[in-house]
Amino acid sequence: MARPSKQEDTRKETPRESAAAETAEDESSGGASSYLVPGLERGLRILAEFSAREPVLGAPELSRRIGIPRTTTFRLLQTLEALGFLERVNGDRNFRLGVAVLRLGFEYVNSLELTDFGTPILERLRDATGLSTHLLIRDQRDVVFVAKAQSHEPLFSSVKVQVGTRLPAHATVHGHVLMGDLSLTALEALYPEAQLEKYTERTPATVEELHERVRECAALGYGLSEASFERGISVVTVPVRDHSGAIVAAVAATVPRSDIGTDEEKARLVETICAAAMELSTRLNYRPSADDPTAALAARKRFA
């Protein structure tokens, strides 16, 4: 009996053979696409589907969007989960972005103009005030420290915040400042729960109360906290804006006391930090409007 031709062979193709054939087909097609790895491309497309508006997705929806079988989608999801790029939500079949994505994000942030421009400004601000200074961004419901200049004063030896540290945005003045562009509707989408997690008696209890704090900071052009999140620590935080006027980061200085000092000392410190934040905003091509409160405070203090 004659052996069946290649076209007539009905033997089920193994996954390894399928992948090899797929690779061979890509390489023989020529052009830029010959260097694409289909599995990797699909995995990255899955990650790209997650967003602030849709932080949680399941295999059926992702399969529909990417246009691949559910079984393939599920295998890709399991692989991404094993590598830490995705994690299950409450042990369910739905997924959200994982810690490995955040690590890549840190590397990306470190390559941005934000940290390139921000680090020397933080160092000068530290030298001008004697305080530890930080650059922060917001990642959904957290604030993340992305750069710092540690104070040389011995008093700060026990007060160290590492780059990569995350704090709850709703419970810190850093978060209140960084959320300055968000409307009540946007905050409600970010915090759908009826009651916010309490960290101290000063933590906002509801989204409405959080919105009030956010609007207060926006109206002032800065945020000031005296031991409202951590005992014995006070901070002044000022927004940084980019060319579009959006808040993209914040500059903060830490005071290792439960209070910052007299009204005059507070005003002087606030003006100095506003000047530093405004310099960074200017480096990012921000042009303040006439009614920008941060710019008005910065104009009172020359930041050298």
DSSP annotation of 284: T
| Token duo for residue 30 | 């020529």
pLDDT of residue 256: 80
pLDDT digits over 154-185, tens only? 665 556 677 888 888 999 999 999 999 999 99
Q: State how far the Cα of 60 lies from the Cα of 71, in Å rounded to an integer.
A: 10
29-33, 64-68, 107-111, 231-235: least confident range = 29-33
Residue 70's pLDDT is what?
Answer: 92
Is 5 a residue whose pLDDT tops 60? no
Q: Determine the pLDDT at residue 159.
A: 63
Angle formed by the axes of helices 99-110 and 113-129, nearest 10°? 70
Which of 82, 83, 77 lies closest to 56 in space, CA to CA?
A: 77
List pLDDT tens digits, range 116-155: 889 999 999 999 998 999 999 998 888 988 888 988 876 6
203 with 197: CB under 8 angstroms? yes
CA 296 to each of CA 11, 70, 260, 289: distance values in angstroms, whole numbers, following the listed order: 76, 56, 21, 10
Token code pair at residue 33: 């696409």
For the chain, which domains are there?
15-97 (1.10.10.10), 106-298 (3.30.450.40)
Instruction: Reply yes or no on whether the pLDDT at 17 is more than 50.
Output: no
